[in-house]
Amino acid sequence: MKLEDLKIIITGGAQGMGRHFALRLAEAGAQVAVGDVNEVGLAETLEASKSATKGKVHARRLNVADEADVASFVAWAHGAMGGLNGLVNNAGILRDGLLVKKDRETGAVKVLSKEQWDAVIGVNLTGATLITRDVVAKMVETNQRPGVIVNISSIARHGNRGQSNYTAAKAALAANTVTWSKEFASFGVRVGAVAPGMIETPMTQGMNQKARDGLVAAIPVGRIGLPEDIWLGVKFVLECDYFNGRCIDVDGGLSM
């Protein structure tokens, strides 16, 4: 699809990669609806988009883990943009922790809480599934084709210490990229995924510094990734009509 023909939703659009994707798409002439629970960040994304002369960014609060909120957002986005033919599932959170941990000094055993598990699965997997379902349903109802979905997975889907919840969500999202590509084929909707490695975003900036430094040092290209690096992968999935049901790793060669 041509970027200027897109009327596309981006979740997690208040900062980081989501904001970068939204601004790039608006610059190319697309209509973009961004959603996030961070309303201050959404306003900043909207302000930053005002220099885009071709496309337009629309913004509204969205909690992807809330089914009713998702349904309302999709209906609003469709109306605001005058149609809907794309989605980037970018919203994500971290609640890292070892599944079981023993304190070296006290011997106390700690476990990953159900709250930590539920929070990450709720946003990163359930939320992505709910909005994919409702976006594709809207495309089918309005006879919109072609359509395209881009899932933001992660190289952590292969397994990463201290990220049982995040790994499970991102692995499932990559697997469902294949599932959904098959289910939505008859509707003219493609589904692809991009799996970032270590990327400079507010989320990774909040990591434990020692762990962050160790990961960056292990990247073969010698630097942390930037949102623009991931945008190039997303752009490829959006534009290449022969790409479907696959996941692209954009990680600088990092292995976890």
Q: Which residue has the higher pLDDT, 77 or 212?
A: 77
What is the pLDDT at residue 209? 83
**Strands, DSSP E only, in 75-213?**
86-89, 100-102, 109-111, 147-152, 189-196
Q: Which of 84-88, 154-158, 174-178, 214-218 shows the lowest per-residue confidence on average (mean pLDDT)?
A: 214-218
The CATH architecture to which 3-248 belongs is: 3-Layer(aba) Sandwich (3.40)
Q: Three-state DSSP class for 30?
A: coil
What is the pLDDT at residue 212? 78
The C-alpha R_g of the chain, in whole angstroms, comes to: 18
Query: How far apart, in whole angstroms, are the C-alpha atoms of residue 72 and residue 69?
Result: 5
Query: How far apart, in whole angstroms, are the C-alpha atoms of residue 187 and residue 138?
Result: 11
Q: What is the mean pLDDT of residues 160-165?
A: 94
What is the share, in percent, of the chain residues with pLDDT greater than 70?
100
* Domain extent listing, the chain: 3-248
Q: Which pTM value belongs to this model?
A: 0.94
What is the pLDDT at residue 211? 78
214 has pLDDT over 90: no
59 has pLDDT over 80: yes
208 has pLDDT over 80: no
Residue 124 per-residue DSSP state: I
Average pLDDT over the chain, rounded to whole?
95
Judge whether 197 and 227 are in contact, CB under 8 Å: no
Amino acid at 237: V
Judge whether 93 and 66 are in contact, CB under 8 Å: no
Query: How far apart, in whole angstroms, are the C-alpha atoms of residue 135 and residue 131?
Result: 6
What is the pLDDT at residue 203? 75
Question: What residues are annotated to the active site?
Answer: 166
What is the pLDDT at residue 52? 84
What is the share, in percent, of the chain residues with pLDDT greater than 90?
89
- pLDDT tens-digit readout, 103-131: 999 999 999 999 999 999 999 999 999 99
- pLDDT tens-digit readout, 223-243: 999 999 999 999 999 999 999
- pLDDT tens-digit readout, 24-50: 999 999 999 999 999 999 999 999 999
206 has pLDDT over 80: no
207 has pLDDT over 80: no
Instruction: Categorize the per-residue pLDDT at 215 as very low, low, confident or very high, splitting at 50, 70 and 90.
Output: confident
What is the pLDDT at residue 31? 98
Distances 149 to 29, 40, 91, 141, 180 between C-alpha atoms, Å: 18, 26, 14, 17, 9
